């Protein structure tokens, strides 16, 4: 699918929303990854930590189902998070075979740091919009997310 330039303007701005969304998403993702790198995190870390913040202690098997991560990849991810003291894993008292994963106090602080850093990124990205326009943009994106297909992110995912 080719982008159709609008009215012969210099720089040929594409008219499809998909292309515009992809361009904005690329810039946001780059800035997001830079912020996370400064904090010593990766996006996959933030997704798991955010899930735990939103849903509380979770069985490891349920976590790989909810995050749609292969069990062996989840083990590697949780090992990284546990080594950084961002999560705590312990055995379920009612079923010793089952591991429970929970956000540690350090993990909560890391997410607060991520939230603050992302607020700065958002302010930079939306600097050209007034408060009403920001509200409209947020409303439209939330609506797309809530009515979108299965690939739309859950509210707590990054």
What would the pLDDT profile of 63-89 be if each residue is shown by its tens digit?
A: 988 998 888 999 999 999 999 999 999
- Taking a C-beta distance cutoff of 8 angstroms, is the pair 134, 126 a contact? yes
The per-residue pLDDT for range 26-52, each reduced to its tens digit, is 999 999 999 999 999 999 999 999 999
In the predicted structure, residue 5 carries a pLDDT above the cut 50: no
- Sequence-distant (6+) residues with CB within 8 A of 83 are none
Strands 99-103 and 58-59: antiparallel
Judged by DSSP in three states, 48 sits in helix
Q: What is the pLDDT of residues 92-121, one digit of tens each?
A: 888 878 899 999 999 999 999 999 999 999
């Amino acid at each position: 699918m080719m982008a159709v330039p609008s009215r012969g303007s210099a720089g040929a701005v594409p008219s499809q929303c998909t292309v515009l969304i992809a361009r904005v998403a690329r810039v946001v993702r780059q800035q997001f990854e830079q912020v996370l790198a400064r904090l010593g995190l990766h996006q996959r870390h933030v997704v798991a930590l955010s899930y735990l913040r939103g849903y509380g202690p979770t069985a490891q098997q349920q976590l790989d189902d909810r995050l749609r991560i292969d069990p062996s990849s989840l083990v590697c991810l949780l090992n990284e998070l546990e080594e950084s003291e961002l999560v705590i894993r312990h055995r379920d008292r009612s079923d010793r075979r089952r591991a429970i994963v929970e956000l540690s106090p350090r993990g909560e602080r890391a997410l607060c740091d991520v939230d603050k850093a992302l607020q700065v990124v958002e302010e930079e990205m939306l600097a050209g919009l007034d408060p009403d326009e920001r509200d409209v943009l947020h409303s439209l994106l939330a609506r797309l997310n809530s009515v979108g297909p299965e690939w739309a992110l859950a509210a707590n995912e990054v």
